[in-house]
Amino acid sequence: MDGASMRQSGSVTEQQRAVALTWVRRGYPVIPCSRTDKGPMVAGFGRDAAPEQLAPFSDPEQVSAWWSGRFKRAHVGLLTGRGADGRGLLVVDLDMKKPGTVLPDEYADVSSGADVLERLAAAAGGEWPDTYMVLTPSGGIHLYFQQPADGPLIGCATGAGPTAPHLGPLIDVRGVGGLVIAAGSYSAAQEIPYRRASPAGLLPQPLPGWLLERLRPAVVPAPARRPAPVHALPSGTRAERAAAAGLTSAVEKVASAGEGERNRSLFSAARWLGELHETAPAVLDESTVREQLLSAALASGQNERESLRTIRSGWERGVRDGSGAGAA
């Protein structure tokens, strides 16, 4: 259903639902989008969204329900940034130059973002990337890639800019917190589908090295952070000693979590400690848990802002779930 042509027989609902479920089976989350302005019609997917907030976008039952009921004729949007395994898509959006657009002198003769990308590739001694490619109704191109397997996920950027992941004029980058309209998604208003232009069977590929270097900001080593001391003494109560041991165990699990499991491990640890909070509040106070888990998350290579968001979400959920757990 996501090929260069789309059968017009059958209902738009069936077509859109089939496209959405195809991408979910591939491991990529989807979202209903407006057929007029392409805006998202469901909330909860932003760059700071916790795993539990993102889960519905990869749930086949929820996705099928969206395109069977309220959003049955919606565009199929693909969430970029995180996939079902913790990673996901990065899309390089190459726009056409619009009349009246003024570009820097070095790009004054280009007509599209594709021209700009070709120049960047040539300057880096690289090749035009061979990956899943989509033609948009406006004549632009979407190049789909896998988010990098190591290091932080790449975010969003629009046009030229002094820092990564900005690439250049007429090029947008859709990463964490972004979305694109899927190939095969058809809008009666536009009368043209987004069309796959790459060979059948070719799915999003890893980023070529030259492009990854342009998209990833230079990493400045952060000063080592020492975990805050755990406020529990050998003379503490049995519950306090157990809580201190539990905190140490949770920190170790977060610090040693592998690729694709780090954010999930962090959320689970924060939620579990939140559930235990009531049993030993002097040990498992919120500030101590946050500092300990954040230190472990940073040591494993996670982003500080995202980690703090995940810790807060997990902790609040755990405290709610654990409230009154000691009652008879």
Strand pairing category for 171-174 and 195-196: unpaired
Secondary structure letter of residue 206 according to DSSP: E
What pLDDT, in 10s, does the model give residues 224-245? 555 555 554 455 688 888 888 8
Quote the pLDDT of residue 144.
98
Q: Which amino acid is at 35?
A: R
On the question of pLDDT at 40 being above 50, the answer is: yes
pLDDT-above-70 percentage for the chain? 88
Which DSSP string do the residues of 24-73 spell out, in sequence order?
HHTT--EEEE-TTT--BSS---STT--HHHHGGGG-HHHHHHHTTTTTTT
On the question of pLDDT at 6 being above 50, the answer is: no
What pLDDT, in 10s, does the model give residues 84-97? 777 799 999 999 99
On the question of pLDDT at 260 being above 90, the answer is: no
What pLDDT, in 10s, does the model give residues 175-220? 999 999 999 876 556 678 899 999 999 999 999 999 999 998 765 5
pTM higher than the cut 0.95: no
On the question of pLDDT at 67 being above 50, the answer is: yes
Q: In what order do the strands lie in the sheet with 75-79?
A: 30-33, 75-79, 179-181
Q: What is the mean pLDDT of the chain?
A: 86
What pLDDT, in 10s, does the model give residues 129-158? 999 999 998 899 999 999 998 888 999 999
Q: DSSP 3-state assignment of 180?
A: strand
Determine the average pLDDT of the residues in 14-34: 94
- Cis preceding-peptide flag for 165 (omega within 30 of 0): yes
Determine the average pLDDT of the residues in 247-262: 87
Q: Which two tokens stand for residue 17?
A: 């639902």
What pLDDT, in 10s, does the model give residues 71-88? 998 999 999 998 877 779
CA distance 291 to 309: 13
Output b/e per residue, 235-268; b: 16+ Cβ within 10 A.
Answer: ebeebbbbbbebbeebbebbbebeeebbbbbbbb
- In contact, 204 and 89? CB cutoff 8 Å: yes
Determine the average pLDDT of the residues in 252-264: 86
CA distance 25 to 89: 14
| Cα-to-chain-centroid distance, residue 208 | 19
